[in-house]
Amino acid sequence: MSSVSRALRQSSRHASRVVAQAMPKAAYSSLARAVVGKAVPRAAIQGVRGVKTMDFAGVKETVYERSDWLLPKLQEYFKNDTLALIGYGSQGHGQGLNARDNGLNVVIGVRKDGESWRQAVEDGWVPGETLFPIEEAIKKGTIIMNLLSDAAQSSTWPTIAPLITKGKTLYFSHGFSIVFKDDTHVIPPPDVDVILVAPKGSGRTVRTLFKEGRGINSSIAVWQDVTGKAKERAIALAVAVGSGYMYDTTFEKEVYSDLYGERGVLMGAIQGLFRAQYEILRRNGHTPSEAFNETVEEATQSLYPLIGAKGMDYMYNACSTTARRGALDWAPVFEKANLPIFERLYESVRNGTETRKALEFNGRKTYREDLARELEEINNQEIWRAGHTVRSLRPDYRPDSE
Ligand SMILES: NC(=O)c1ccc[n+]([C@@H]2O[C@H](COP(=O)([O-])OP(=O)(O)OC[C@H]3O[C@@H](n4cnc5c(N)ncnc54)[C@H](OP(=O)(O)O)[C@@H]3O)[C@@H](O)[C@H]2O)c1
What are the sequence ranges of the domains in the chain? 53-249, 264-393
> Which ligand 1 atom sits closest to the C-alpha of 177?
45
CA of 114 to the centre of ligand 1 (A): 13
Average pLDDT over residues 160-181: 97
CB contact at 8 A, 83 and 111:
no
Q: Calculate the alpha carbon distances from 220 to 103, 171, 202, 223, 361 in Å.
A: 22, 10, 16, 10, 28
136 is in an annotated binding site: no
Average pLDDT over residues 96-103: 98
d(CA 61, CA 226): 25
The CATH architecture of the domain made up of 264-393 is: Orthogonal Bundle (1.10)
Q: What positions carry a catalytic annotation? A: 174
Share of the chain above pLDDT 90, in %: 82
CA of 148 to the centre of ligand 1 (A): 4
Mean pLDDT, the chain, integer: 89
CA of 147 to the centre of ligand 1 (A): 6
**Residue 24 confidence (pLDDT):** 37
> Which ligand 1 atom sits closest to the C-alpha of 111?
40
CA of 142 to the centre of ligand 1 (A): 21
pLDDT band at 153 (very low <50, low <70, confident <90, very high): very high
In the predicted model, is pLDDT for residue 154 greater than 50?
Answer: yes
Q: Which fold has domain 53-249?
A: Rossmann fold (3.40.50)
Please, how many CA atoms are within 13 Å of residue 397, restricted to the half-sphere of its CB?
Answer: 11
Please state the φ and ψ torsions of residue 27, each to the nearest 5 degrees.
Answer: -120, 180
Ligand 1 site residues (CB inside 6 A) read 87-92, 110-111, 114-116, 147-150, 152, 155-156, 173-174, 176, 198-199, 202-203
Nearest to 67 by CA among 29, 95, 34: 29
294 is in an annotated binding site: yes
Q: To test ligand 1's pocket by mutation, which of 90, 95, 247 has the most ligand atoms within 8 angstroms of CB?
A: 90
Of 1-5, 123-127, 141-145, 320-324, give the lowest mean pLDDT range. Answer: 1-5
Q: pLDDT digits over 375-402, tens only? A: 999 999 999 999 999 999 988 888 777 7
Q: Considering only CA atoms, which residue is closest to atom 5 of ligand 1?
A: 202
**Residue 49 confidence (pLDDT):** 57
**Residue 272 confidence (pLDDT):** 98
Q: Considering only CA atoms, which residue is closest to atom 18 of ligand 1?
A: 149
**Residue 316 confidence (pLDDT):** 98
pLDDT band at 231 (very low <50, low <70, confident <90, very high): very high
Q: Considering only CA atoms, which residue is closest to atom 48 of ligand 1?
A: 91
> Which ligand 1 atom sits closest to the C-alpha of 87?
43
